[in-house]
Homo-oligomer: A and B are copies of this chain.
Amino acid sequence: MKKDMPALQSLKEKIASTGLKVTQQRLVILQALYENDDHPSAEVVYNHLSNENPSLSLGTVYKTLETLVEKSIIRKVYCADGIKRYDVHIEPHSHLHCQSSHRIIDFSDPALEAMILQYLQDKKIENFEIQDIQLQIQGHIPNPEKRVRIYA
């Protein structure tokens, strides 16, 4: 799924509305997440930005990403490889994890998510309050040079 980059103003408002200061670093990091839809780690975000922003430090990228997660502007992706990766999409959705390339592809399907949530609510799990669900679909991309397409 391709992400639509919001206008700069809208990003500023998103940050400001949480009480955080609107800094240049937070803006470029948030933009980088919209530009790179492969759920980058802190290191990948830093490498992507450091040429254009030589004064940006890796530590700031780490801190900023965690801060944005705390404020629910972005979220962490569940991963099996022990690396923290981030996602600008905070609504419930699924991920296709390619075992060979470690690409993670968004797979948003509101009908599926609604179906699962409904199922879990009917199930009545005692002593557990559900906040969010993420379906991780593990597999393999036979033709890495081609796109992965999802039909409705």
User: Measuring CB to CB, which residues of chain A are less than 8 angstroms from any residue of chain B?
Assistant: 76-84, 96, 98-99, 105, 107, 109, 112, 115-116, 119-120, 123-143, 146-151
Contact = CB atoms under 8 A, between A and B. Distances in A.
B143 A133 contact: no
B139 A99 contact: no
A127 B115 contact: no
A141 B120 CA distance: 16
A150 B138 contact: no
A123 B140 contact: no
Given A79-B82, A125-B149, 16 more contacts: A79-B80, A82-B82, A98-B128, A99-B131, A107-B125, A126-B148, A126-B150, A127-B141, A127-B146, A128-B140, A131-B138, A132-B137, A132-B138, A132-B139, A135-B135, A136-B136
